[in-house]
Amino acid sequence: MDENGGKKDTPLVRMKDIGKRFGSFWALTGAGLDIYPGETHILAGENGAGKSTLIKILAGVYREFEGTIEIGGKAVRPRSPLEAEELGVSVIHQELSLVPSMSVADNVFLGRSLTRRGGFVDTRAQAAVARQYLEQLGVKVDVRSPIEQLPIATQQLIEIAKALGRNAKVIVMDEPTSALSSPEVDRLFQMIDGLKARNCGIVYITHKMEEIERIADRITVLRDGRLVGSAIAPELPIPKLIQWMVGREIDQQFPRHTPTMGKERLRIEDFSVFPRGFHGKPDVEKVSLHVRAGEILGIGGLQGSGATELLTGLFGGYGSLWKGKVFFNGQAVRTRSPRQAIDRGIALLTNDRKATGLILPMSIVSNTTIADLPRLSPGGWLRMKRERGVTEKLSDSLNLHSASLDRSVSELSGGNQQKVVIGKWLQTDPSLLLLDEPTRGIDVGAKREIYRLMNEWTRQGIAIILITSEMPELLAMSDRILVMHRGKLTAEFPREEATPDAVLEAAMGRRMEKKAS
């Protein structure tokens, strides 16, 4: 670096005065990005700021745009993702580009198979090389297994391994840690350090401030499709970064209010869940808990703790594959399907909005109302005017940003997609909200909006069970915290007694072991 903290090197990539229009809507105007060798460059901004659009232009997904791109000092206009990869740019999109029915090794070499004499795919060589890439990330998996059999966190690491195999000069990572545990994140960051040592340029998109503080060398901020500014990381402290992102200061990140709790909403006793059938080991084993109206019950745990399976089982996602007692509003119930859960006033926001929360080709209106169609379709006839009316009301309350409610949700930013999912469940008028990673992939401004909504919901008497992998969020927004490890509860903390160390200790099963001794 020079004496002013700037790079002397020629940038690997220079994007200048980039503009992109969808119809009459300008998603980008005068945006830009310089990517230098040996540097982790954070691309920051709220959802809808234009980050993904800018990256899709670089990746050759969008071919029509204004402005210039230089790679290695030469003007280029990538016309496809394959052409961008040939120019040395590899992008790991937030939406994984894996083929579920194909094996891990075949996915790693998708579009560039290793062949032997005669043009036949060398499956043995592909398996060996794929295993090497995955070992760099600390992933131990049978590379012959179909992708669809693996958890989402492992799939995300396989997507990263696929990019490693392309020997790219520039690697763009869009929310790469959204489904990763802390040890997996550590391995990813070690890998990034190795790539920087090889003079690769890393563009990293994240909404997690602790990650920005940890790995950023340079930060560029977009807001409303425009370039706000670019600075080396030490010159852009977090408060200033947030102000650049949202255009205002945020004085309180977690605005949890003192709750006024009502009657017991849910109680479960010795609740066990058997997703693979009663012949196998339960993913949730004899869990007992309760939550009251107006309360946020937080559930902490590492990947594989069973927390997600617990909420899915309560929602009827595994049918009758559970044992134990469940009491809802004081009455014993047996929920065997999501439809039964919805009819009782239970809603589940899943941790993967694209796979299980939304129907991507459908419109905002259709996605918002799909869980409440019986009530919106008296006599079996859909009342489209009523459907649009409730969607307009919800979009206003959720501050949803879209040029049209008829727009496909696949065209929305991650944060706005999450708001559509939330709107879908609010439309069912729930009294118990099961929230599994509600702020995953959400920017700091949108997170604060969701925290505000959580406060409003509890004031209305809604009970909330919250799963989040972000420790500050878990500690600040929960009134009580339960911790799970390998399907069992290991600890319970009142809000005032919960600390990061205590929660992590319980999440690793240590408290359980101490009690046993």
**Of 507, 477, 474, nearest in space to 491 by CA:** 507
Look at 415 and 199; give whichever has higher pLDDT. Answer: 199
Residue 353 phi, psi (nearest 5): -65, -30
Q: Is the pLDDT of residue 515 over 80?
A: no
Q: What is the dihedral of CA 181, 251, 397, 259, to 10 degrees?
A: 80
Residue type, 397: S
| Secondary structure (DSSP) of 35-72 | E-TTEEEEEE--TTSSHHHHHHHHTTS----EEEEEET
Look at 11 and 25; give whichever has higher pLDDT. Answer: 11
Cβ neighbours around 267 below 10 Å, total: 18
* pLDDT on residue 2: 44
Question: Residue 228 to residues 49, 257, 439, 446: CA-CA distances in angstroms?
Answer: 10, 33, 24, 19
User: Mean per-residue pLDDT for 389-405?
Assistant: 86
Residues 143 and 53 in one domain: yes
Residues 272 and 241 in one domain: no
| Secondary structure (DSSP) of 232-296 | EGGGS-HHHHHHHHHSS--S-S--PPPP---SEEEEEEEEEE-TT-TTS--SEEEEEEEEETT-E
User: Mean per-residue pLDDT for 94-105?
Assistant: 84
Residues 64 and 132 in one domain: yes
Helices (H) and strands (E) in the chain, counts: 18, 20
Domain of 424? 359-429
Confidence of residue 398 (pLDDT cuts 50, 70, 90): confident
User: Mean per-residue pLDDT for 261-270?
Assistant: 96
353 found inside a domain? no
- Rounded to whole angstroms, the Cα distance separating 370 from 81 reads 34
Split into its structural domains, the chain has a count of 3
445 found inside a domain? yes
* pLDDT on residue 249: 54
Residues 167 and 272 in one domain: no
Q: Which of 246, 271, 298 is the last residue of a domain?
A: 246
Q: Is the pLDDT of residue 428 over 80?
A: yes
- Rounded to whole angstroms, the Cα distance separating 211 from 215 reads 6
Q: Which of 400, 429, 458 is the last residue of a domain?
A: 429
Please give the distance of CA 452 from its chain centroid, rounded to a whole number: 20
Write down the pTM of the prediction.
0.65
Residues 27 and 45 in one domain: yes
Residues 97 and 204 in one domain: yes
**Of 392, 378, 403, 452, nearest in space to 427 by CA:** 392
Residues 326 and 425 in one domain: no
Residues 187 and 316 in one domain: no
pLDDT digits 0-9 by tens, 350-396? 988 888 889 989 999 999 999 988 888 887 787 888 889 999 988 88
Residues 323 and 259 in one domain: yes
* pLDDT on residue 248: 58
Confidence of residue 37 (pLDDT cuts 50, 70, 90): very high
Q: Is the pLDDT of residue 474 over 80?
A: yes
**CATH value at residue 117:** 3.40.50.300
Residues 296 and 418 in one domain: no
Residues 58 and 99 in one domain: yes
User: Mean per-residue pLDDT for 60-87?
Assistant: 93
Is 292 in contact with 262 (CB distance < 8 Å)?
yes
Average pLDDT for the chain:
87
351 found inside a domain? no
Q: Is the pLDDT of residue 253 over 60?
A: yes
CA angle 279, 284, 289 (to 5 degrees): 140
37 found inside a domain? yes
Q: Which of 216, 246, 276 is the last residue of a domain?
A: 246
